[in-house]
Structure 1
């Protein structure tokens, strides 16, 4: 095979000070050292590979929280520990515990679940999201964090049954949620009933939740329910997975903490 352009390559009288070889001229370009040019091309290719690897790493870790989370309340995307304002001793303690637990999660070998429980509007979801953001910003090496509204998750998975193009299939969601280094399951129990009294969660819901929780040991759970109510709603196998390493890792809000969400008086 002939390359006519090679006929335009000419040696020059200059010498590369690095490789001590003659430089060449090609196509009217300034003289250059073939060895230097080869090294430059190799370094550029190495940089492209490193950049692609870093982009992939970020997508699998720090970007997971923003891109793959299912957040029922959009305002939660802007919260952090800095925006959580304690207004009594209970909320001050809750903030301190959440910060301690988030710091503990920075060690990959620390395996425990956290439960935030109490009445609606007490700030459970705010603290749970803040924990993930803190981990996202401080973990070294990076970790993947995921915030999932349980009710929205189950709705999307069920909708995917009739939508073959949906990303939110049972298989995809189980894979995504079990792979996350730290996962928040937000408002667990809300899927069972919107009534005041507890009612058992459906068999399908329990099967999906078990598949997720059974494969995990670092899950943050927010719920409006007490331990008694959780045990009434879920199969004992699910309850045991919820309670994995949870002793000493419970943040409980009582009636002392008022609903932080705005209310309309009329």
Structure 2
């Protein structure tokens, strides 16, 4: 049988046929070159998530393998760990409690104080502050009723945009906890940091794919602090690709907060990204104008 036809290194003949040498060598076995393997491209192939293709149209594995590690069972043990991860993901994505808990367990918030953000903790001492609070509460009610649209919060730093975005998620998450409805809060700086940190792992695409898939499929998503100067620039094609990939897969129900004006956003991002951000948010662009920096007033 084919499964029994192994060479002297214990690898199946069809594995060898699919192997693509990388020119890199295993840390545990310095004399052994690492291989990546080809396989038919996914039906929903996306170069940002699934990696590059070979000249003959086959998809390359994102992880490189050592044949000696394979013989020692290293990858089998990792696969068992992956199975546990998959089970946890199924719990988060399919069960009622898993959906409800996703906001708390999977969000990347940056400032921990945001977990206490609610509508009743937003200090509306001025007319402008009461106005943005009223609009945020209206938006939360519409999301709770099942309406699908995008929301854009724009204004200077410290005006309460992140607070009200989180308050919307908390309100909707609580009201729809019996409906298997999921919410997620992602601070853009924390997202980029998390993905870049994952590049130190053996499979550099695993965490990026997990996070972007989560953001593409969650029912209601906040992308916080879009346009952070330290993480974005016009020529940062990788970052812009991540954002476009997420937005392109979503059909409404995305809230962004940004310090950038519309003009600044267009100068910082590709036109396609700006178009996707503004699409479906005609009646839910909230401008935080005439509000003083709440962080300085404390």
Change (3 A) 1:218 1:55: closer
Deviations 1:209-257 (A, max 9, x none): 0111111121010000001111111111111110121111011112x21
What is the match of residue 275 of structure 2? 240
The answer on 1:215 being equivalent to 2:274 is: no
Change (3 A) 1:231 1:61: same
Any residues of structure 2 matched to 1:159-170 within 5 Å, and which? 159-164=197-202, 169-170=207-208
Q: Would you say how many aligned residue pairs link Structure 1 and Structure 2?
A: 207
State the SS of the aligned residue for 2:264. Answer: helix
The answer on 1:57 being equivalent to 2:57 is: no
Asked if the contact 2:94/2:180 (under 8 Å) is kept, the reply is: no
The answer on 1:134 being equivalent to 2:168 is: no
Change (3 A) 1:167 1:262: farther
What is the match of residue 18 of structure 1? none
Asked if the contact 1:174/1:212 (under 8 Å) is kept, the reply is: yes
What is the match of residue 262 of structure 2? 227
Of 205, 214, 223, which aligns to 2:239? Answer: 205
How far does residue 56 in structure 1 lie from its aligned partner after superposition?
A: 5.6
What is the match of residue 4 of structure 1? none
Asked if the contact 2:92/2:98 (under 8 Å) is kept, the reply is: no
Of 196, 202, 220, which aligns to 1:158? Answer: 196
Deviations 1:142-174 (A, max 9, x none): 410000000110111112112237897221111
How far does residue 70 in structure 1 lie from its aligned partner after superposition?
A: 0.2
Q: Distance between the aligned counterparts of 1:259 and 1:146, measured in 2? A: 26
What is the match of residue 89 of structure 1? 127
Change (3 A) 1:98 1:155: same
Asked if the contact 1:76/1:126 (under 8 Å) is kept, the reply is: yes
Q: Distance between the aligned counterparts of 1:185 and 1:83, measured in 2? A: 21
Any residues of structure 2 matched to 1:178-197 within 5 Å, and which? 178-190=216-228, 192-193=229-230
Q: What TM-score does the superposition give when structure 1 sets the normalisation length?
A: 0.72
Of 151, 156, 176, which aligns to 1:119? Answer: 156
How far does residue 58 in structure 1 lie from its aligned partner after superposition?
A: 3.2
State the SS of the aligned residue for 1:187. Answer: strand
State the SS of the aligned residue for 1:164. Answer: coil
Q: List runs of 5+ in structure 2 lacking aligned partners.
A: 1-90
Of 67, 70, 74, which aligns to 2:108? Answer: 70
RMSD: 2.5
State the SS of the aligned residue for 1:258. Answer: coil
State the SS of the aligned residue for 1:170. Answer: helix
Change (3 A) 1:92 1:231: same
Q: Distance between the aligned counterparts of 2:172 and 2:294, measured in 1? A: 25
Q: What TM-score does the superposition give when structure 2 sets the normalisation length?
A: 0.65
Q: List runs of 5+ in structure 1 lacking aligned partners.
A: 1-52
